[in-house]
Structure 1
Amino acid sequence: MEQALTGEQMVAFQEAFSLFDKNGDGCISLEELAAVTRSLGLDPTNQELNDMMREVDMDGNGTIDFQEFLSLIARKMQQDGDADEELKEAFEVLDKDRNGFISPVELRTVM
């Protein structure tokens, strides 16, 4: 994962991680995760927070370290890339004449 990231991305991800890691111990605790999600206007339940932590905490120590954080970012980037590819494929199916546009006639064929 790290090899695929640019230096600029690594700096940005390290800065983001540092914002989550309020006490500077190199790990994001459940409490820090709760504070960050709530500061973003989300109000997850304790169960949802525990589920998020379990999904990311690969070594099971109850915290998210920088490597685990990068793994989360990598999964998200992969999911976004997969979604982009699916949208492109769907567009190509609708764009019958391959001109880069979906005309009303082309759109009607699927309705």
Structure 2
Amino acid sequence: MGEKLSDSQLREVKEAFSLFDMDGNGRVATKDLGSLVRSLGLNPSEVEVRQMAREADTDGTGKIVYSEFVAMFTRHVNNVSTVEEIVDAFRVFDKEGNGYISAAELRHVMLNLGEKLHEEEVNDMIREADISGDGHINYQEFAKVLLAK
């Protein structure tokens, strides 16, 4: 998942970072981090903002330098993209829209689409995913399987 931001995304990030760099010293206060990432299209909770601040403020100064911000922001953007892809994939296979896919459907998908897996790997994934053992896999179970892949 170690994707990089595109040139246009990097320009947008640099521009937004500069707007929040109040004294022009190449640093943004951690207290402004929530507003900064929201200005770039993410919508983190306050808990997530605090986690991002701890992650980006590697030296504990209460200030975030541009390179630290870009590294942290890239990880979070990639994570959001992955979650959106999983939600989209789940919706494709949840034909009835009831919030579940059958273990048989998951088996078919994993054996035949995309990166083909061995029968034993698929059996292990289904055993892990079908936590309740009812033959149905809900969104959380599905996401866990795909993220572990």
TM-score bracket, normalised by the shorter chain, equals 0.5 to 0.7
Q: What is the total number of aligned residue pairs between the two structures?
A: 90
**1:16 corresponding residue in structure 2:** 16
**TM-score, normalized by length of structure 1?**
0.60
Q: Does 1:79 align with 2:79?
A: yes
For residue 85 of structure 2, give the secondary structure of its aligned residue in structure 1: helix
**1:107 corresponding residue in structure 2:** 97
**2:132 corresponding residue in structure 1:** none
**1:70 corresponding residue in structure 2:** 70
**TM-score, normalized by length of structure 2?**
0.47
User: What is the CA RMSD across the aligned residues, in angstroms?
Assistant: 3.4
Return the offset for 1:35.
9.5
For residue 25 of structure 1, give the secondary structure of its aligned residue in structure 2: coil
- CA distance 1:109–1:85, change in 2 (3 Å): closer
Return the offset for 1:22.
0.9
- CA distance 1:16–1:94, change in 2 (3 Å): same
Extract unaligned runs of 5+ from structure 1: 96-105
Return the offset for 1:11.
1.3
Return the offset for 1:89.
2.4
CA contact (8 A) 2:27 2:63 kept: yes
CA distance in 2 between partners of 1:7 and 1:51 (Å): 26
- CA distance 1:59–1:86, change in 2 (3 Å): same
**1:27 corresponding residue in structure 2:** 27
Q: Does 1:91 align with 2:81?
A: no
CA distance in 1 between partners of 2:11 and 2:35 (Å): 20
CA distance in 1 between partners of 2:99 and 2:35 (Å): 46
- CA distance 1:108–1:82, change in 2 (3 Å): closer
Return the offset for 1:55.
3.0
The higher relative CO (CA closer than 8 Å, separation ≥ 6) is in: 1
- Same amino acid, percent of matched pairs: 28
Return the offset for 1:60.
2.7
Aligned amino acid, residue 78 of structure 1: N
CA distance in 2 between partners of 1:51 and 1:4 (Å): 21
CA distance in 2 between partners of 1:10 and 1:60 (Å): 25
- CA distance 1:36–1:59, change in 2 (3 Å): same
- CA distance 1:36–1:108, change in 2 (3 Å): closer
